[in-house]
Each structure stands twice: as C-alpha cells, then as structure tokens.
Amino acid sequence: MSIIIDGTDADHIQVRNVLVENNSSTLGDHSIVVGNRGEVLNCEVDGGDYGIAAIDSAGESRVGSIMIQGNRVRNARTSVYSEKEDTTVSDNDLFMEGSSEYSVFIDGGDRAVVADNRIYNINGDDAIYLKDVTVFTVVGNIDGYDPGFG
Amino acid sequence: MLIDGCTQGVISGNTVNDEILITNEADDILITGNRAETIRVADAVGQYSGAVLATIIANKAVQIVVDNSTRVHILDNEATWLSAVAGSDWCVIKGNILPYASGIPIWVEDSDDVQVLDNDVWGYGFGSSDAVVGVAGTSARTRIERNRYHGKSPGQAGTAHNHGVQIAATASAPIIGWNDWNRHLAAGPEIENLGSASIEWTDVQEVDFVHYPDAEVAESPIRKYFATDVEIISVFIVANDGPVGADLIANLHKDGSGTGIFTTAPNKPTVADGSNEGSTTVPDVTSVAAGSYLKVKFEQIGSTTPGGAVTVLLRYRRIF
C-alpha cells in the first residue's frame, strides 16, 4: 500500500496521527508533504523519497512556519526535509539504513530548530544537514540510537 | 552533522557517530557539550573560506580540527588531537584535556598568531621527534604557555614524548613561556628547533651583579643562587667608568668552578677599551641546576685605568 499526503499547495495544513506504510523511495515520491505553515505531528511513516517534507508552495518556497514533531520515520531516502523560512524538527524517531541520504535536511531559511531527535543513520549521508540557515539551534539530538522499529 | 554556510547557531548536547562539520563561511557558531568522533571547522568544499568566530567548548571528541578558519576558540574540551591548520589565524587552543594522546597531539601548521595555553596532555610519542606541541609549516608567532605534560597515561605502551615543542625549519618567531613538561619528557631537549627560528621567551627573569669599586682580576663576592633549574638566555655588561688601555672582560663561574660558563673567548661579556656599554652574549654553557650559584669573575679589567661601577645583567628562565 502506498499513501501520499500531498499538502504542497496548502496554506495551513496539519497532519496528525497518520500512518503511511510501505511507500516507495522513488525520487519525487514523498510520503507526507506540507506547504506553508504546515504541522506534522505524531505520524508514522515507512518509506518515501522524503518521509516528511515542507517544500515549494505556489512559488513561495521560503514562506512558512513548519513544525515536525513526535513522528516516527523509517527507511525514507531523506527522513525529514524543509526549505521553509522557519522550521522546527523535534522529538522525532528517525531510522534509516542502506543507501539513504539525510535524516534531517533543512535547506535555507531564516530560523531552524533541530532538537531532541533520536536518529539511526547507517551508511547514509550526514544525519543532520543545515544549509544556508541564518539562525539555528541544533540541540540534544542522538545519532546512533536505535529507536526500536520492529 | 553538516552545518554548511549557516550563521549564528548553537550546536549543543548532541551525540554524533562521526563528524560535526562546520563549513563554507559559517559565522558566529557555538559548539558545546557534544560528543562526536570529530569536530571540524573547515573549508571542506575547497572553494570558499572556512568559518570565522566559532567557539568549540566543553565537547568530547577524538579530534578537533580547525582548517582554514579564523578566530576559532577551542576551549576546555577532551580530545586526543587538536589542530589549527592551513591559514587558521588567531585561533586559541586553551584549557583542553588530552588524556590518551600520541604522536604530536597539538598541531599548528601554516597558521599565524595561534595561542596554545593551559592544556593538559597525557600520552606517548611514536618517534624521536614527537613533541607535545608541533609548530609546522610557515606558522608565525605561535604562543605556547602554561601547558602541562604528565607523561604516559596509566596502562599506555610506548615511551613518553621526547620534546615539549617541535619548531619546523620554516616556522618563525614562536613565543614560548613557562610550560610544565620537562620533568616527564623521555629525552629532550625541551625545544626541538629544526631551523633557526628566533624564540621569544616570555618568562625571562633578570638579575644584576653590581660591582661598585674598580674591577679587579678576581671573582666578585656576590653569589646568585637558583631555586630551580634555569636556562641562561643572555648576559649583558656595562661599566659606568669605562676601561682604558684594554678591554674589560668578564665571565660567570658556577659553584666555585675554575672554569666559566663562557668557554669561547669572543662570547665573553666585554666592555671595549674606551667604551661603557658592553656586549650581549649567550654563554656556551646555558644550564644551571637548582641549588647552584653563579659568581662574576673579571678576567681582564683594562690596563691604564680599570673599568669601574660595573653591572653584569643576567637574563634567565626557569625550567621545571
């Protein structure tokens, strides 16, 4: 079964308590996508190019405040991705192994908080990747922790 | 963890399997309380400047590397290798603990005005040139003070380090103060100066031997005792009443020995005939052990009129 939550063009979408199972990891095939002012809370995601992403919305790629919190993501190519101006990624369990990329990738923006995530990133790229972010805090993350996905 | 081109950030309390890398003109970054294999502030991409104004404090890592990045402070960390290389100017490596160091654990290469202060090192060297601190490449004005070397850690194999500082032939003008490492070095000397870099010593002390009457060909009655081992840096002589007819020549004798510490005639402190100010020279024997003393002996005082009101200024530094 493959489910994609596509809220790319939504101005404010909240995705809560959703289970996405067995999604493919084909390029562009993301599991949960939010647009401006999106929130992804307490979801469980299996697979995806991006497991959870906050990406371009109607040509306003940097607009938006994003909260990605309390989710469990496994086996996506990149677990969490955001290109928005204000991103918080906290308290997530992010499990990846094999030919994976980043567990958290924040591409630009004015503010980013990456806090208290438990990350298991084997044979992938950097567990946390911040690129061209103006003000950021990366606090209390554990890389190498197996969150115990069965 | 890769922090690429970001500014004004805090990286704190993370546990990272491999590396925390700060790169591409990252600016104003605080890195504290992390555990990582490597913490690197660097020009990793090779086409941008490295970071500026980063502070790396109280982390635990195997190695902490500053590469082509300026004004980075490495403070109070625990690691086994610390380095500032490739144009990492104005960096400070201070107060760190290196409990299982080997090779040359604090390394400054091609970087100017780096300060290496108050670090504690336990460890062993692999070879005869291994030092606690290495100053390599074209590094200039590296300041090295108040570091402590404690010998091998318990259970470590190998031998203790041989030198406190190794200065490459291409490095220049290191500034070295008191460091507590001599007592645990395996061989020495304390400074392995592979070229002719002129060292500026910052812990130099001075003592004057003052001889008011006309000089006589005899030992001065004044003894200068030393409470610790010292190295004589230089000796300067001046006579208020200059000698006439011949030079005034002095020497320094240790513990009543009949032989002075100047054994090469041209090196002896000398006030030339008709002059007042003498020469500043380095003795042939520079080490004086704790408990020993020096006395001035005038070997020649002038012929027509002896030199008078003579002062011999001794500059030395303590060695522990």
pLDDT of residue B143: 98
What backbone torsions phi and psi does residue B301 show, to the nearest 5 degrees? -125, 0
Alpha-carbon gap: A3 to the closest alpha carbon of chain B (Å) = 30
pLDDT of residue B168: 97
Of A127, A131, A136, the CB nearest to B16: A127
Res A127 pLDDT > 60: yes
d(CA B231, CA B24): 46
pLDDT of residue A122: 79
Query: What is the tens place of the pLDDT at every residue in A60-107?
Result: 667 789 999 999 999 999 999 999 999 999 999 999 877 678 999 999
Res B256 pLDDT > 70: yes
pLDDT of residue A18: 83
Res A54 pLDDT > 80: yes
Given a contact cutoff of 8 angstroms between Cβ atoms, the answer to whether B27 and B50 are in contact is no
Contact A132 B4 (CB under 8 A): yes
Q: What is the mean pLDDT of residues B129-153?
A: 95
pLDDT of residue B131: 95
Res A123 pLDDT > 80: no
Residue among B146, B289, B154 nearest B225 (CA): B289
pLDDT of residue A59: 64
Residue among A142, A115, A149 nearest A130 (CA): A115
Please, which pLDDT band fits residue B50 given cuts at 50, 70 and 90? low
Contact status of A116 with chain B (Cβ, < 8 Å): no
Query: What is the tens place of the pLDDT at every residue in B67-80?
Result: 988 889 999 999 99
d(CA B160, CA B156): 10
And the tokens for B308? 């008078």
Q: How far apart are the first and last CA of chain A?
A: 18
For B255, other C-beta atoms within 10 Å of its C-beta total 12
Question: A63 or A133, which is more confident?
Answer: A133
Contact B14 A138 (CB under 8 A): yes
Res B119 pLDDT > 60: yes
Of B1, B4, B9, the CB nearest to A137: B9
pLDDT of residue B280: 77
Q: What is the mean pLDDT of residues B276-282?
A: 86
Res A1 pLDDT > 50: no
Contact B9 A138 (CB under 8 A): yes
Contact A127 B17 (CB under 8 A): yes
Contact A127 B8 (CB under 8 A): no
Of B8, B10, B17, the CB nearest to A139: B10
Please, which pLDDT band fits residue B319 given cuts at 50, 70 and 90? confident
And the tokens for B141? 């004005």
Give the Å distances, CA to CA, from A146 to A52, A104, A116.
Answer: 19, 16, 14
What backbone torsions phi and psi does residue B246 show, to the nearest 5 degrees? -165, 165
Query: What is the tens place of the pLDDT at every residue in A7-50?
Result: 777 778 888 888 888 777 777 788 999 988 889 999 999 999 99
**Percent over 90 (pLDDT), chain B:** 65
Residue among B243, B249, B232, B202 nearest B293 (CA): B232
Question: B125 or B275, which is more confident?
Answer: B275
ipTM of the complex: 0.90
d(CA B50, CA B41): 7
- Helix/strand/coil percentages in chain B, nearest 5: 0, 55, 45
Given a contact cutoff of 8 angstroms between Cβ atoms, the answer to whether B240 and B213 are in contact is no
pLDDT of residue B250: 92
Mean pLDDT, chain B, as a whole number? 90
Please, which pLDDT band fits residue B160 given cuts at 50, 70 and 90? very high
pTM value?
0.86
Q: What is the mean pLDDT of residues B133-161?
A: 92
Question: A116 or A64, which is more confident?
Answer: A116
